[in-house]
Amino acid sequence: MKGKITSWNDEKGFGFIAPNDGGKEIFVHIKVFNNRKKMPAINQVVTYSVSADKSGRPCAEKVTRAGEPLSKNRKSERTSFAIFIPVLFVAIVSISALTNKVPFLVLPFYLVVSVLTFILYAVDKSAARNGSWRTQESTLHLFSLVGGWPGGMIAQQTLRHKSKKQSFRVVFWGTVLLNFGAFIWLHTPDGGAALLTFINGAFFSAVRF
C-alpha cells in the first residue's frame, strides 16, 4: 500500500501514515523502515504492508520511502514468487503427461527448451558484460513462446537479466500467455490430435533422412 507520513515523533521513533486510498491512519515505528538511520519527514510518500500488533491493532511494516530501493526481504519475496510460477507450471505439465492428458513427449520438450532458454539468457548476460555479440530479443521471445518461458523466467530472477526492461517484459508475458493458451488447447481432442499428427510427421521425416 502507499500513503503519506502525517505525523512523526523523532524522540519516540513513531508516527502515523495516512493511506492514499483513504481510511484510518496507521501506526508506524522506525524499526519497520527499510532505512532506520534516516528519520521520516511529514508528507513523505511511503510504501508499506499492513500488519497488527500484539493487541490486534493495525500497524505498518516493511516501510520503504519513495525513491528508496526495496528491502532485501521484499526482493527475496518477489524472486521466490517469480520462481514458484514456472515450477508450478512444470508440475502441472508433469501431471498432465503422466496421466495421459497430453502426449508424454510434451514434458521432456518443455524441460529441454526451458534449459536452452536459460542458457541463452546466461550467454546474453555474459555478452552484455563483455561487450560482445548479443542474443537478439526476438530469439529469446521465440524460445519463450515455444515453451521455454519457465527457464526464461527463472533466468530473469536468478541472473537478474532482462528483468527491468519494460518493453521486453510486456512481450515476454505475451509469449507466456500464448504458450499457456496453447498448452490448454492440447488438452482438447483437436489439440491432442494435431500434436500427434505433427509428432508422427516429424518422426517419419527424420527416418527418411
For 29-51, write each residue's pLDDT tens digit: 998 888 777 888 888 899 988 88
Closest CA to 134 of 106, 165, 107: 165
Least confident of 26-30, 99-103, 160-164: 160-164
What b/e string do you get for 111-133 counting C-beta neighbours within 10 Å, with b at 16 or more?
A: bebbeebbebbeebbeeeeeeee
Determine the average pLDDT of the residues in 99-106.
89
Fold of 2-65: OB fold (Dihydrolipoamide Acetyltransferase, E2P) (2.40.50)
38-88 pLDDT, tens digit per residue, is 888 888 899 988 888 777 788 998 888 876 665 555 556 566 777 899 999
The identity of residue 74, as a single letter, is R
Q: What is the pLDDT of residue 138?
A: 94
For 73-199, list the strands marked E by DSSP.
none
Residue 116 grid coordinates: 536452452
Q: What is the pLDDT of residue 27?
A: 93
Q: What is the pLDDT of residue 194?
A: 78
- Domain ranges in the chain with CATH number 2.40.50.140: 2-65
Residue 174, pLDDT > 90, answer yes
Please provide the distance, in angstroms rounded to a whole number, between the alpha carbons at the two ends of the chain: 61
Residue 163, pLDDT > 60, answer yes
Residues 72/75/80/86 CA torsion (nearest 10 deg): -150
Determine the average pLDDT of the residues in 116-136.
89
Residue-averaged pLDDT of the chain: 84
